[in-house]
Structures are given as structure tokens and as C-alpha cells.
């Protein structure tokens, strides 16, 4: 369906954008006008193509749309055609639709400032605003409505993309997407929206509208350029006037060069700015130009701005420094006023503003520079100028005097005749170089004499001042003297560049440049006699501040700076040192500080507690740090800290250490932290604290264990481990918070924990007790239970266990017990989580290395291999077609070298019910792995039996039993009563194992003995048909205390045997590497290598050495040496 649409109430658009169509009431007689469903509102003229292709007459009936071009997509090969002339303006000629558009209204001034005046007037507006001007350029503009409709249809066609889904748009869909699509235009609703929008715009603050106008209005760049052009014209006129005034004052070309440069630059700048002004308004925007043109314009603008600013400043500088009669400020005012405030006849215009104040005091008049041949008059002239600089510099120095003194210095140093000076005979006639050399030395010596006399006068004046008045006098004269020294240094540049430089190059001593000479004379003449009194005044000010009074510390800072500036290296005048500062300021300052704090601390300690004194000392130390920051030199920070630390802390360290135990006993962390910070400032100040802390933690740990260790044999592992963790957590937090986690305090904590964990009340019954209880607690956590803990909590608990494990000395004991318990968990499928088991092994590996956990990891691998093997076995059994009496069995193949398991200590004949399946599995495994031997661990086998004989239960009980119990109970399938001898004969179990199995069945009342009592020979056993239990699944596979005790004994026995082998292997490894060793050295080295697993006894090492000697791995040599036998 082809459409042409135009919203009611709209008119032709004056901006020639891609809006289409006009309203029409033409009706096609060949097709219905309204049909359901429609996809367009009823006021849109339409023609449905299902009635055939539209004819020319039918297209004429529809209102012709505006000119359009086919839509452009991202994949379009080219930009849409735009009819735009080469100069950038839209070409409207020849297009009747565009020519007949509504005429453009006149632009008002208010519209211009609102940004509405440039929509069609300026070149490239369609590119600046990113609004394309799209006009029909592919067809002649004179074609009629049919051609226009073809353009519109072509522009409205979008091809169907591959894989695009589509659906029929009916009335229901349109109602859902646009509920008001079938309604007429509501002018009131749109008016409300427009009013709200206009109010929102008006609500913008004034500065936001101004900022938006500055950033977006097209006239802003134009105004900028125009302003620069106007100011450039003014700058050119000022530069010309400056040139005219300078030309009248002096005809010298160097003095006029700067104003000439300014005139030349401004002359070139005016046409350039004019061009840029024209280009800004009519040219293509900078962002649409090629990259080379962009960079060229930007660099040209930057060059113009920098060069023009520099040239104008040079012109003003020439006015200030070369056109002076009564001071630079006065003549700058004259030069500018002569251009802006005076007419041609020279009469003043009283309406002008004064640029620079004329209220400066009149400058001291000096006579003209004497003739260069008259050296005596020249020195008098120089002396007057130097006197003027030294004493009256605050009032300013006239440029004429400045240039006169500089010229006089030059004349003095270059004069060939020494009129008025007493020069040795023959010196004058020895050539210009020799004469200049002598005159330079004469001028240098005269300057020294002048400085000495000037400084002697200041010394005399200083005697009338004391304390703060002396400080004020010293600082004032120092500042005036150093500023004058800089001026004189510049005025004597010729002397510095020639005579002084030559003398210094020749290695002459006590020759300095003029500024350094001033400092040297100040130090020799004035500083040495007054420095002690100045320092006394400084120390009094500092003491006032320490006593809480407010002082002007800026004076002290200036004194410090002057002391530092006087530090000159006598061997190399170009270098500076801090010797003067350290000797005259730092040394007395530190002595006064030490004396002050020693007196204060003694008095304060006598009147206050130790805790209060620590607070006082902490505050005083902070004050001294702040004092350095405010007005002292940074070099004093280290010696000042050392002095304060000794006076405030070192002298009272024993008092503080004695208080530490009180703070520990009362858990006063804040005060302990304060004591730690104070004592850490002095050498070895914390060593006694660390020792007392270690002793305190060890006693606390031993006390905590003693509280819970009433009976070591019955002690719950969780209670024991929790007691250890509580002590460690308490003091570990104390180290972190109070002692900033310091490494030495952490080491003290580790030593204390290692001591009370390995040698406490529980360990008296055996040194292996701590690692055994820790392993048992880990087994409790990792074993399935009805009260399981969450995974996150379990991980945190395992991390805490590793904290205790870190302090365990006999880590091999933990390994033995842990591996046995892990084996039982894996064999009986009793682990709470494989992830938790893996996490624990990873932690052990990280703590002890790969070798420690190698067997544990192989146990997990065996269990995974067994799972795969069971799947294959079930497939094998299924393939054999065995269905009768088939068992649901699981077999675990455990490697002998990795599992801490032993063969059963009794013979056993499995019952016929399971024997057939076991033999079938044996044949299956041997066929797959030839040469391997299977050993059945019957003591670890278990199974389930259904008991349907009980009278008191409708549901048969399920007994979870060991394979030994299973063999006993299956015998009662044949008859209800068996004697002890019958059971022993059928099962072939040893009496010890049989008694243990029967005892559990009798205790659970599954069997009844006759006569009653413990199972033994001569008794008979029958089933208890009246058996009752609250649970349907009854676990009878319970190990007794006797069995657990026996297993513990066997484990400890294995540990001792393994330790002997480990010691022997370590000794052989050491001797193989060393070949020869002293006996004591071998023992020490062995202990160091084995310490990570356990702490061996020296006696055990000696026994192992004897064993290796007997086995001829080692031999005895002379001088108590042992040798290795290959």
C-alpha cells in the first residue's frame, strides 16, 4: 500500500527538509475508501495496490508529496544527492515546489541574539547544524504529480531483510501500539504539551542561557575576531606613539628596535585578522576542512597570538627602561598620556584617567657620569650610587642612576689612565690588559672597604637593641642588604665577567663574585659579633611558644634562612654548605631543647601518672614536628627528633617499661599503642616489651589450656582447639591494633604460641597430643554429621585450624592421624564435602610442601579410579547376564604405598551371599591388571542387611553392619540359635575380633546370649524377635574405645618407626653432600633439616648414626669426624 501523509493543522515547511505531502479529499472510484483492518489513520489518502497498479489518472487524484529521494542506509553506496551550489548555498532555482514555498520572514534583531537568524543566510549552515538539505536532483523539477508520487513511493520503500520476521498489523495490534491512532488531531492536548515545554525552558537559570548562547551562537566567533581587530588597531597606534616619543628622546637605533618590531607585527596583523574575520563568516567550518588546513590555521593563530603579545610587551618595555627622566613609572605615564590624553598643541585634556600614580617621591639627583679617564671622580660617583642603593632602595632607583652606575663600573675597569689613584710605577705602561687588571682589583678592594665600613656602622647600631628588637633590626637590615647586593651584583656585571672570573680561574683564594662578596663580608663583619645575641633572642621566642604563648614565628624563619644563606664553601665559592647554620643555630637550638624538656619531664613525671606523661610526651613530639614544618630548616629534623626522644623517652624508658605489664594485665590497648609508638623512637626501646609480651602470652595460653584439660584422655578436640584459637586471636589482634603488626612483636607472639601449644598440660601425657587432637577436630569438621555447618563457615574454621597447625612442631604426627582419618572418610564415603577435603589438602600443601601431601592426593586419585572401575564392573556383570542374587556392591582399589592401612590381623571366610560377587570382581580385576595382587581389607568392609523377622515392626529394619557382623547375622538365616563355637568355626575369626563383633550385637539387643554376659566360648546366641528401635536404619558398625585406643597405639608406633627412617635418610643425604663432618656439626645440621617435620631428640640422632655406622654407610675418622662410604 502506498501512502501520502500530512498531519492536520500543519503547513508547508520553510526549511526545505524531508517532510512530505499535503491534504487531499480525492477518492478513488475503483476501490473502497475504508476497510478493516487498516494500518493508517482514516485522514491519510491512500491507494491499495491489491487492486492493480496505479494509473497516471489515479496518482493525480492523490495530493502530490514534497520532493524526496530514496532513503539512505548504512550500506548505501553514496550520499543522497543535494542540489547545492559550489559556493555552499542551497540552489533553489528551477524547483517549483521549493520556489513556491512560503517566503522567509524578515529577521529581527532579537531573533539574531536568540540564535534564530542564521538558519538560511550563512554559507554551509546545513553542514554546521547537521540538518541535511535534501532536494530532488535525480529528476527534472518540471514533472507533474505522477512523477512526484513515484519519487515518494521509491523513497518510502525499504527492502525485506533476510531472516526478518513479520506479522499482519490489524486493528488490535494498532490499538495496542498506538491507542489513539484512529482519532483526529487534538489541538488542545498538543497545546498543553507545548506550554509545559516552554515553561520548562523558561525555568532555566539566566547563567545557563548565557552560557549556551556563548557556546552555540554563530556570532560569537565573529565578535571575537572583530574585538581582536579593534584592539590591534589601538595597539598599532600606541606602538607608533611610543616610537615617536622614543625617537624624540634618543636617536639610538637599539633603543627604538622594540617599538619598531611592535609596529611591524601590528601592521601585518591587521590584514590577517581581516581575512580571518571574513573567512569565519563565509568560509567552510574548521571541522569540515581537510586535516592539513585545520593544522595550518590553528598553528598560524597560535603563532600570531604569541608573537603579537611578545612584540607589544617589548614596545612597552622600551618605553619603561629607555625613556626615563624621573623614574620609569613617570615616563610610562607620560608616554601613554601623550598619545591618549594630549592634543597636537600639547595642552592636557583634563578628562583622562591617570594610568600610574604620580605621587612617588622625587628621586635623588646625581651628577653626570664622570669622564672615564678620571678614575678618582668615577669611584666617588660609584660610591654615591652604591650608597643610594644601600640606604634608599625602598624609594626606588632612577633608571638614569642605574645606567649611570653601570657605565661608571665599565669606565673604571676599562680606563687606560689612572688619574687620581696611586698605582705602582710601571703598571700603567704595561698595556691595556695589565691596566684593566689592576683597575679591576682596585675597584674590588674599594668595594670591600665600603662594605666593611657600612657593616661596622650596622654593628654599632645593633648594640642598642636586645631580644625581639634585635631580631627585628637584624631581619630588616639583612633583607635590605641582600636586595641591595643583588642590584649591585648586576651593576658590577662587567667586573664579574672579566676580573673576578679570571682571578677565580687562576685559583686565587678569597675572590668571589660581587653578590657572594656581600655575604662573606656580612658573615665576617656583622654576623660573628651579633650572631650569639640573635640566637639568644630566637631561643627566647621558641621558649615562649613552648610555654603556650603566641609568637611571630616568621622572624625565626627569616633568621634561619639568613644563617643558611651564609654557608659558603671556602674551598669552592660556587658551592654552599650548612656549616654556619649547624654551628650557630642548630647546635644551640638542640642544647636548649634538651635542657627545656629534661626539666619539664622530670617535674611532670613527679606530679602525674605514667599514662598522663605518655600523652604529654606525644603532644610535645608532635609540636616539635610542626615547629620544623613552620619555621625551622628541614636538615634539623633528624637531630631534633633524636634530642627530643632522648629527653622525653630515653631518660624515662624504664618507667614506661615497668608500666607495660600493668597495661597488659588490664587490656588497655590505646595506652599500649601509645607506649609502643614512644619507645619505638629510641634504639632498642621495644626489646624489653617484646620479652614481657611473649612471657605474658605464654602464661595466658598455658592457663587457658589448664582450664579445659581436666582429663587429657577424655578431652574433646573442639574444646581444646577453641581454647588455643581464642588466645591466639586475642593477642594477634592486639599486635595488629596496638603494635601496628610489627614483625618482632609478631615473632614474639609466634614463639609464645609455639610454646603453649606444644608444651602444655595436655601434652604431659604425650608430646604427640596436640597434633593428634588437632587432626581429630579436623576429622569431626570434615565428616558427615546431622549438624553440618555451612560451607563458608567451614572454610573459615579450616583456616583457623591451619593457624594452630603452623605452631605444631610434630607435623608428622598430624600427618599420620589425618591420613588415617581421611582414609576412613573416603572408604566409608563419609566426607561432608569433596571441596572441603580438597581445600584442606591445598592448605597443608601450601604450609608444608608437595611431599607432605603427596600421599593424600594419591588417595583421592585412587577413589576416582575406583569409581570408574565400578562402572566398568557393573557393565561386565550385566554382560554376563547375572541377575540371580546380584549384589549392589562398590569396591575400592587402594594403593598399598599411599594408604595408611594394614592387612587384617585375623583370618576370615566371607559368607556365601557375598563371596560369589567378590570372586567375580577378583577375576575381573586380574584380567584387566595382570600381575597385581589384591588383598581384601575385610576390617574396612561394610554392608546393609534387611531384618524382616522383628514382630514389633511392620517395616523391616535395615542394619548397617561390618562384614564380620554380616557374616554372623547371615548364619541365623539357617537356624535361630548358634553356639560361640559354631560362629567361630564358620567365620574363622579370631576370638578377639569375634568377641568385639558379638559384643556390639548383644549391646544393641539384636542377639541374645545364653547365659547372659560377655561373648565367650560355651555360650549360645539367638535372634531377638522382640527387637525395637526408634530408627528404621540401625547403625551397628561402631568402633569401640578399645579399638580406637589400639589404633592410636599403632599410629604412634608407626610414627616412631618413620622418624627413625627419616633421620637416617637425612643423615645419609647430608654426609653424601659433605663427605666429611664433625659429629656435633652433623647433629646440628640434621636438626635443622628435620625441624620442619618434627623436632628430633639428640639421643635419637646419635642412635641413627650408630645404626648407619653398623650398616657401613658411615665410618669414623680422626678428631671426632665421620666420613661417608659410597
State pLDDT tens for residues 307-351.
667 666 665 555 544 443 333 434 444 444 344 333 333 333 323
Which span out of 176-180, 400-404, 575-579, 911-915 was modeled with the highest average pLDDT?
911-915
Q: Who wins on pLDDT, 965 or 181?
A: 965
Lookup: cell for 78 = 553514496
Given this model, what pLDDT does residue 38 score?
42
pLDDT exceeds cutoff 50 at 202:
yes
| pLDDT score recorded for residue 179 | 64
Average the pLDDT over 388-406 and give the result: 79
532 lies in some domain: yes
- Report the sign of the C-alpha dihedral through residues 787, 792, 794, 796, in that order: negative
Same domain, 963 and 1033: yes
- The C-alpha angle with vertex 612 and arms to 607 and 616, in degrees rounded to 5, equals 95
CATH number at residue 1084: 1.10.10.10
Region 411-434: mean pLDDT is: 48
> What is the Cα–Cα distance from 487 to 514, expressed in whole angstroms?
10
Residues 1060 and 1092 in one domain: yes
Taking residues 115-136, what's their average pLDDT?
A: 43
Among the candidates 1018, 1039, 1060, a domain finishes at 1039
Higher pLDDT, 164 or 823: 823
Cell of 531: 650572631
User: For residue 591, is pLDDT > 90?
Assistant: yes
Pair (1055, 1018) in one structural domain: no
On whether both 246 and 395 belong to a single domain, the answer is no
Is residue 767 assigned to a domain? Answer: no
Residue 284 inside a domain? The answer is: yes
Q: Are 278 and 383 part of one and the same domain? A: no
In a domain, 1019, yes or no: yes
CA distance 539 to 534: 9
Q: 21-35, 786-800, 817-831, 956-970: which range is least confident on average?
A: 21-35
Q: Strands, DSSP E only, in 38-187?
A: 45-47
CATH assignment of the domain containing 567: 1.20.1310.10
**Residues 964, 908 contacting (CB under 8 angstroms):** yes
Cα–Cα distance, 658 to 807 (Å, whole number) = 30
428 in the same domain as 380: yes
Residues 440 and 508 in one domain: yes
Compute the mean pLDDT over every residue in the chain, rounded to the nearest whole number: 75
Report whether 473 contacts 461 (CB < 8 A). yes
How much is the pLDDT for 69?
44
- % of residues, the chain, pLDDT over 70: 68
**3-state class (DSSP) for residue 710:** coil
- Mean pLDDT over 973-985 rounds to 88
Number of domains in the chain: 4
Residue 140 forms part of a structural domain: no
Q: Cell numbers 539512505 label which residue?
A: 72
The count of other CB atoms within 10 Å of the CB of residue 285 is 13
Residue 224 lies in a domain: yes
Phi, psi (deg, nearest 5) at residue 1035: -90, 110
Query: 1020: which strand partners?
Result: 979, 1010
Residue 939, C-alpha cell as written in the block: 576390617
Dihedral angle computed from the Cα positions of residues 507, 509, 515 and 517, in that order, rounded to the nearest 10 degrees: -160
Pair (1011, 1113) in one structural domain: no
Predicted structure pTM score: 0.60
* CA proximity to 1071, closest of 1083, 1059, 1055: 1083
Q: Is the pLDDT of residue 770 over 70?
A: yes
Question: Residue 880: which residues within 8 A CB-CB, separation 6 or more?
Answer: none
At 1047 the three-state DSSP class reads helix
Paired sense of beta strands 957-962 and 2-4, if any: unpaired
CB 13 within 8 A of CB 46: no
Confidence of residue 696 (pLDDT cuts 50, 70, 90): very high
The per-residue pLDDT for 551 is 86
User: Domain containing 1117: what range?
Assistant: 1046-1124
213-217, long-range: CB < 8 A, 24+ apart: 213/113, 213/115, 216/115, 217/113, 217/115
Give the per-residue pLDDT at 11: 33
Angle 693-697-698 from CA coordinates, rounded to 5°: 115
**414/476 same-domain check:** yes
1098 belongs to a structural domain: yes
Torsion of CA 316, 320, 323, 326, to 10 degrees: 150
- pLDDT for residue 43: 44
Q: Is the pLDDT of residue 1065 over 70?
A: yes
* Boundary residue ending a domain (1039, 1060, 1078): 1039
pLDDT value of position 1057: 80
- What pLDDT is recorded for position 150? 56
Do 434 and 333 lie in one domain? The reply is: no
CA distance 230 to 537: 61
Residue 354 lies in a domain: no
More confident position, 1061 or 369: 1061
Residue 163: count other Cβ atoms within 10 Å of its Cβ: 5
Cα distances (angstroms) measured from residue 323 to each of 242, 365, 396, 1070? 9, 17, 16, 96
Per-residue pLDDT band for 282 (boundaries 50, 70, 90) equals: low
Same domain for 320 and 244, yes or no, is yes
Half-sphere exposure of 290 toward its Cβ, with a 13 Å CA cutoff?
2
Q: Are 1076 and 1118 within one domain?
A: yes
- pLDDT > 70? residue 417: no
Judged against a pLDDT cut of 50, whether residue 405 lies above it is answered with yes
Residues 6+ apart with CB under 8 A from 993: 905, 906, 939, 964
Q: Please tell me the predicted confidence (pLDDT) of residue 602.
A: 92
Looking at the predicted structure, is the pLDDT value of residue 694 above 90?
yes
Instruction: Give the residue from 548, 577, 606 where a domain finishes.
Output: 577
* Grid cell of 806 as nine digits: 603452623
Amino acid at each position: 500500500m502506498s501512502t501520502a501523509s500530512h498531519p492536520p493543522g500543519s503547513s508547508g515547511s520553510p526549511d526545505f527538509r524531508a517532510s512530505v505531502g499535503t491534504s487531499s479529499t480525492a477518492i478513488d472510484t475503483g476501490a473502497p475508501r475504508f476497510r478493516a483492518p487498516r494500518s493508517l489513520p482514516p485522514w491519510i489518502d491512500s491507494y491499495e495496490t491489491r487492486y492493480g497498479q496505479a494509473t497516471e489518472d489515479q496518482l493525480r487524484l492523490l495530493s502530490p508529496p514534497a520532493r524526496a529521494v530514496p532513503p539512505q542506509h548504512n550500506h548505501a553506496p553514496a550520499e543522497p544527492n543535494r542540489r547545492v551550489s559550489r559556493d555552499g548555498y542551497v540552489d533553489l532555482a528551477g524547483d517549483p515546489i521549493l520556489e513556491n514555498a512560503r517566503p522567509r520572514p524578515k529577521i529581527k534583531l532579537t531573533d539574531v541574539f536568540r540564535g534564530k537568524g542564521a538558519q538560511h543566510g550563512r554559507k554551509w549552515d546545513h553542514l554546521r547544524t547537521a540538518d541535511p538539505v535534501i532536494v530532488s536532483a535525480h529528476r527534472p523539477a518540471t514533472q507533474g504529480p505522477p512523477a512526484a508520487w513515484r519519487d515518494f513511493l521509491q523513497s518510502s520503500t525499504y527492502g525485506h531483510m533476510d531472516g526478518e520476521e513479520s506479522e499482519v498489523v490489524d486493528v488490535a495490534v494498532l490499538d495496542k501500539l498506538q491507542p489513539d491512532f484512529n482519532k483526529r488531531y487534538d489541538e488542545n492536548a498538543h497545546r498543553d504539551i507545548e506550554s509545559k515545554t516552554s515553561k520548562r525552558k523558561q525555568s532555566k537559570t539566566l547563567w545557563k542561557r548565557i552560557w549556551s548562547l556563548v557556546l552555540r551562537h554563530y556570532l560569537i566567533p565573529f565578535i571575537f575576531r572583530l574585538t581582536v581587530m579593534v584592539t590591534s588597531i589601538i595597539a598599532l597606534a600606541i606602538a607608533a606613539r611610543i616610537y615617536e616619543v622614543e625617537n624624540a628622546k634618543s636617536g639610538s637605533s637599539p633603543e627604538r628596535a622594540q617599538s619598531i618590531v611592535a609596529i611591524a607585527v601590528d601592521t601585518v596583523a591587521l590584514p590577517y585578522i581581516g581575512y580571518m574575520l571574513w573567512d569565519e563568516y563565509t568560509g567552510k567550518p574548521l571541522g569540515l576542512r581537510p586535516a592539513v588546513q585545520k593544522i595550518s590555521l590553528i598553528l598560524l593563530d597560535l603563532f600570531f597570538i604569541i608573537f603579537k603579545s611578545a612584540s607589544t610587551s617589548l614596545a612597552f618595555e622600551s618605553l619603561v627602561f629607555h625613556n626615563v627622566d624621573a623614574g620609569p613609572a613617570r615616563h610610562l605615564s607620560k608616554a601613554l598620556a601623550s598619545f591618549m590624553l594630549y592634543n597636537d598643541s600639547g595642552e592636557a585634556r583634563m578628562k583622562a584617567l591617570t594610568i600610574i600614580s604620580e605621587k612617588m617621591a622625587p628621586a635623588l639627583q646625581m651628577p653626570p657620569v664622570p669622564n672615564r679617564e678620571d678614575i678618582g671622580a668615577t669611584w666617588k660617583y660609584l660610591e654615591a650610587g652604591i650608597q643610594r642603593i644601600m640606604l634608599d632602595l625602598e624609594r626606588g632607583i632612577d633608571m638614569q642612576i642605574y645606567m649611570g652606575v653601570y657605565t661608571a663600573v665599565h669606565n673604571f675597569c676599562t680606563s687606560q689612565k689612572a688619574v687620581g689613584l696611586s698605582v705602582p710605577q710601571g703598571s700603567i705602561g704595561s698595556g691595556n690588559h695589565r691596566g684593566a687588571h689592576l683597575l679591576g682589583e682596585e675597584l674590588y678592594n674599594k668595594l670591600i672597604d665600603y662594605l666593611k665600613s657600612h657593616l661596622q656602622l650596622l654593628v654599632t647600631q645593633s648594640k642598642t637593641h636586645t631580644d625581639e628588637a634585635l631580631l627585628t633590626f637584624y631581619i630588616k637590615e639583612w633583607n635590605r642588604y641582600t636586595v641591595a647586593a643583588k642590584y649591585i651584583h648586576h651593576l658590577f656585571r662587567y667586573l664579574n665577567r672579566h676580573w673576578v672570573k679570571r682571578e677565580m680561574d687562576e685559583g686565587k683564594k678569597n675572590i668571589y663574585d660581587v653578590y657572594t662578596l656581600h655575604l662573606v663580608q656580612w658573615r665576617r663583619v656583622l654576623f660573628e659579633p651579633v650572631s650569639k645575641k640573635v640566637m639568644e633572642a630566637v631561643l627566647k621566642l621558641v621558649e615562649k611558644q613552648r610555654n603556650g604563648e603566641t609568637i611571630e614565628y616568621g622572624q625565626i624563619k627569616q633568621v634561619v634562612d639568613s644563617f643558611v644563606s651564609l654557608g659558603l664553601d671556602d674551598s669552592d665559592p660556587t658551592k654552599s654548605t650548612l656549616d654556619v647554620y649547624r654551628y650557630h643555630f642548630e647546635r644551640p637550638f638542640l642544647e636548649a631543647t634538651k635542657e627545656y624538656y629534661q626539666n619539664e619531664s622530670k617535674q611532670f613525671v613527679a606530679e602525674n601518672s605514667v599514662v598522663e606523661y605518655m600523652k604529654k610526651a606525644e603532644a610535645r613530639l608532635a609540636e616539635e614536628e610542626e615547629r620544623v614544618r613552620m619555621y625551622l630548616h628541614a636538615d634539623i629534623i633528624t637531630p631534633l627528633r633524636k634530642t627530643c626522644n632522648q629527653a622525653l623517652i630515653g631518660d624515662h624508658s624504664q618507667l614506661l617499661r615497668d608500666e607495660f605489664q600493668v597495661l597488659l594485665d588490664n587490656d588497655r590497648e590505646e595506652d599500649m599503642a601509645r607506649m609502643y609508638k614512644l619507645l619505638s623512637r629510641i634504639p632498642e626501646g621495644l626489646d624489653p616489651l617484646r620479652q614481657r609480651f611473649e612471657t605474658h602470652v605464654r602464661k595466658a595460653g598455658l592457663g587457658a589450656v589448664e582450664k579445659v584439660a581436666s582429663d587429657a584422655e577424655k578431652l574433646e578436640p573442639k574444646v581444646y582447639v577453641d581454647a588455643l584459637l581464642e588466645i591466639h586471636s586475642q593477642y594477634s589482634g592486639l599486635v595488629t591494633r596496638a603494635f601496628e603488626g610489627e614483625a618482632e612483636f609478631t615473632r614474639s607472639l609466634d614463639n609464645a604460641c609455639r610454646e603453649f601449644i606444644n608444651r602444655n598440660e595436655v601434652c604431659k601425657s604425650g608430646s604427640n597430643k596436640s597434633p593428634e587432637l588437632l587432626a581429630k577436630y579436623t576429622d569431626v569438621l570434615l565428616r558427615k554429621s546431622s549438624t553440618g555447618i555451612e560451607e563458608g563457615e567451614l572454610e573459615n574454621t579450616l583456616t583457623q585450624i591451619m593457624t594452630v597447625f603452623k605452631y605444631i612442631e610434630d607435623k608428622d604426627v598430624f600427618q599420620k592421624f589425618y591420613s588415617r582419618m581421611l582414609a576412613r572418610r573416603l572408604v566409608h564415603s563419609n566426607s561432608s564435602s569433596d571441596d572441603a577435603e580438597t581445600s584442606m589438602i591445598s592448605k597443608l600443601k601450601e604450609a608444608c610442601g608437595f611431599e607432605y601431601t603427596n600421599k593424600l592426593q594419591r588417595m583421592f586419585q585412587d577413589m576416582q579410579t575406583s569409581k570408574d572401575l565400578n562402572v566398568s564392573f557393573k557393565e561386565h556383570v550385566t554382560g554376563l547376564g547375572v541377575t540371580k542374587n546380584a549384589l549392589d556392591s562398590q569396591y575400592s582399589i587402594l594403593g598399598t604405598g599411599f594408604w595408611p592401612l594394614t592387612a587384617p590381623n585375623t583370618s576370615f571366610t566371607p559368607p556365601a551371599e557375598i563371596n560369589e560377587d567378590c570372586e567375580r570382581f577378583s577375576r575381573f580385576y586380574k584380567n584387566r591388571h595382570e600381575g597385581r595382587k589384591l588383598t581384601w581389607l575385610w576390617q574396612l568392609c561394610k554392608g546393609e542387611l534387611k531384618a524382616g523377622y522383628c514382630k514389633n515392626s511392620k517395616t523391616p529394619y535395615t542394619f548397617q553392619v561390618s562384614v564380620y557382623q554380616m557374616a554372623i547375622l547371615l548364619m541365623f538365616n539357617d537356624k535361630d540359635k548358634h553356639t560361640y563355637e559354631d560362629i567361630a568355626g564358620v567365620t574363622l575369626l579370631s576370638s578377639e575380633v569375634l568377641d568385639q563383633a558379638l559384643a556390639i550385637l548383644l549391646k544393641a539387643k539384636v542377639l541374645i546370649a545364653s547365659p547372659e554376659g560377655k561373648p565367650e566360648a560355651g555360650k549360645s546366641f539367638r535372634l531377638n524377635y522382640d527387637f525395637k528401635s526408634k530408627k528404621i536404619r540401625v547403625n551397628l558398625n561402631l568402633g569401640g574405645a578399645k579399638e580406637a585406643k589400639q589404633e592410636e597405639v599403632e599410629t604412634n608406633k608407626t610414627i616412631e618407626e618413620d622418624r627413625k627412617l627419616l633421620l637416617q635418610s637425612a643423615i645419609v643425604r647430608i654426609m653424601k653432600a659433605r663427605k666429611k663432618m664433625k659429629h656435633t656439626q652433623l647433629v646440628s645440621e640434621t636438626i635443622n633439616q628435620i625441624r620442619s617435620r618434627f623436632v628430633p631428640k639428640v639421643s635419637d640422632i646419635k642412635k641413627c648414626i650408630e645404626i648407619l655406622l653398623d650398616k657401613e654407610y658411615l665410618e669414623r675418622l680422626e678428631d671426632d669426624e665421620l666420613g661417608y662410604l659410597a
